[in-house]
């Protein structure tokens, strides 16, 4: 999976498979990329992967909800 970490000038800084970081020229995108997009490469161009992006957003939302729920429970117990 390739995820856009951030946009810096004319480049998208991307994370490849949760390990390697690489800058990709914005000219190499078939759309206007933004932070957090999941993308894939085909025929030398990068494309938006809507299904993967939505799945990742859902996972992050669930994780954050779980973290905040645990935080609230811990705060109640310390009073």
Q: 19-73: per-residue pLDDT in tens?
A: 999 999 999 999 999 999 999 999 999 999 999 999 999 999 999 998 887 777 7
Average pLDDT, the chain: 92
Report the CATH fold assignment for 2-77. Answer: SH3 type barrels. (2.30.30)
Q: pTM for the complete prediction?
A: 0.80
Those residues with Cβ within 8 angstroms of residue 27's Cβ, 6 or more apart along the chain or in another chain: 10
Task: Give the residue-averaged pLDDT of 2-18.
Answer: 96
Q: How far apart are CA 23 and CA 15, in angstroms?
A: 9
The vertex-22 CA angle with 31 and 41, nearest 5°, equals: 40
Could you tell me which residue, 16 or 75, shows the higher pLDDT?
16
**What is the residue extent of each domain of the chain?**
2-77
pLDDT value, residue 72: 73
């Amino acid at each position: 999976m390739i995820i856009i970490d951030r946009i810096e000038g004319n480049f998208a800084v991307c994370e490849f498979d949760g390990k390697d970081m690489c800058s990709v020229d914005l000219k190499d995108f078939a759309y206007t990329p933004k932070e957090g997009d999941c993308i894939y490469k085909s025929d030398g161009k990068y494309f938006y992967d809507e299904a993967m992006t939505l799945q990742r957003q859902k996972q992050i939302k669930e994780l954050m909800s779980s973290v905040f729920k645990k935080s609230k429970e811990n705060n109640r117990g310390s009073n």
